[in-house]
Amino acid sequence: MDNPSSPAEPARFLFATCQVGAEETLKHELARRRPDFRLAFSRPGFLTFKLPEGHRLPDDFRLRAIFARSHGFSLGKVTGATPEELAAETWRLWGDHPIHRIHVWSRDVAVPGHRGYEPGMTPEALAARAAIRQVCPIAQQLAPNEEDPEVPAKQGDWILDCVLVEPNEWWIGWHRARSAASRWPGGMMPLVLPEHAVSRAWLKMEEALRWSRLPLAAGAQVAEIGSAPGGASQALLDRGCFVTGIDPAEMDPAVLAHPNFRHLRRRAVQVQRREFRKIRWLAADMNVAPAYTLDVVEAVVSHPHVRIRGLLLTLKLFEWEMADALPEHLDRVRRWGYQVVRARQLLHNRQEICVAALRSAASGRTGRRGERPVQ
């Protein structure tokens, strides 16, 4: 199980999943960054691309596309009338690929928030997973804790991917676990909104922290611009951070009552720079255009007496076309002195993305393991 050999044939297709509505944006992103990948198949929330002949993409290839929630090499689709038939076809297609884990999930079927729709694990995906597992001919190769939904894949694990594109049409592929998101089915970390959370922004912040792996530890001094009503601040408070919320709107009384929270009830431009002297981490989640969010953040981070080590910014895309400017926006953040800048449309993002940035490459990068937490 430890050193399974690579598939003999290089993969010919890549699959990617995304939020419903983000397909065109993802296609544009890939046309810009990987013009040698050709779109092959497209459904809402699910795309495949033909890879160039003779490509030398590594087994653990990372697409690094902002709008791809998950991706892997595609083996093609299986069709059948029942989950049992589809499961049998899955293993026929799988052949003798190495395997440690099975990830099964449904493509998104609606825009997040539309009539209460939330992307995530579905009963159909769990049933399909059980059917595939039931007839797995190489079960001895699977990791011992493979069936525990709370346990993510280990880095380097070989994963069978099965995306339920239609009830009778599953797309099969594989990837090797590497990034934090790639260790979970469909790149979806299983987060549950806690009862005390005052808004679903709690999920957004928690996912952003886990995805970015910013070294932001208990005791860290964090400011959030656009903090009301306070779900995201609560996620930070739950981790033991000290949080300064900046927002002209009202914070929820439960957040205001927290001993480690202080509210500056005003717009960001009205906040004196000295208020940021102790702050080392800055989050922003304003319902304004990306350029305005960046103007506000730049005014803080470029001040000579302010030392912000890392950023977690939500950039709202009121129109999908606003994504075209993202490369420039990310370059702008780099020019402020943040060497590591990454962006992703998180599972809990609506029509928006998350940008994570870290100033000092010397003291670690977002995503590096074993790094010393910094306050």
Ligand X SMILES: C[S@@+](CC[C@H](N)C(=O)[O-])C[C@H]1O[C@@H](n2cnc3c(N)ncnc32)[C@H](O)[C@@H]1O
Binding residues (CB under 6 A) for ligand X: these are: 199, 201, 225-233, 246-249, 267-268, 285-288
Residues 269, 274, 276: CA angle, nearest 5 degrees:
75
Nearer to ligand X, 70 or 314 (CB): 314
- Minimum CB distance to ligand X, residue 357 (Å): 18
- Minimum CB distance to ligand X, residue 209 (Å): 13
Q: 81, 102, 66, 90: which is closest to 172 by C-alpha? A: 90
- Minimum CB distance to ligand X, residue 257 (Å): 16
- Minimum CB distance to ligand X, residue 299 (Å): 11
For the chain, first and last CA: distance in Å? Answer: 40
Does residue 128 contact residue 162 with C-beta atoms inside 8 Å?
A: yes
Nearer to ligand X, 32 or 114 (CB): 114
Residue position matching structure tokens 């995503």: 367
Nearer to ligand X, 78 or 268 (CB): 268
- Minimum CB distance to ligand X, residue 190 (Å): 21
- CA dist 166 and 124 (Å) reads 10
Q: How many helices (H) and strands (E) does the chain have?
A: 8, 14
Nearer to ligand X, 12 or 265 (CB): 265
Nearer to ligand X, 19 or 106 (CB): 19
- Minimum CB distance to ligand X, residue 51 (Å): 39
Phi, then psi, of 223 in degrees rounded to 5: -115, 140
Nearer to ligand X, 315 or 323 (CB): 315
- Minimum CB distance to ligand X, residue 121 (Å): 24
Nearer to ligand X, 229 or 290 (CB): 229
- CA dist 306 and 359 (Å) reads 13
Residue position matching structure tokens 């005052």: 198
Does residue 94 contact residue 75 with C-beta atoms inside 8 Å?
A: yes
129: Cα separation from own chain's centroid: 22
Structure tokens at 254: 């439960």
Nearer to ligand X, 201 or 306 (CB): 201
- Minimum CB distance to ligand X, residue 208 (Å): 11
Nearer to ligand X, 102 or 297 (CB): 297
Nearer to ligand X, 119 or 229 (CB): 229
293: Cα separation from own chain's centroid: 21
For 334-365, give the DSSP string. HHTT-SEEEEE--TT-SSEEEEEEES-STT--
Q: Provide the angle, in degrees to the nearest 10, between the axes of the packed helices 123-134 and 83-94.
A: 60
Q: 209, 227, 207, 216: which is closest to 309 by C-alpha? A: 216
Specify the DSSP class assigned to residue 52: P
Structure tokens at 210: 């886990």
- Minimum CB distance to ligand X, residue 206 (Å): 11
Burial class (CB within 10 angstroms; exposed 0-12, middle 13-18, buried 19+) of 233? buried
- Minimum CB distance to ligand X, residue 264 (Å): 9
Does residue 221 contact residue 241 with C-beta atoms inside 8 Å?
A: yes
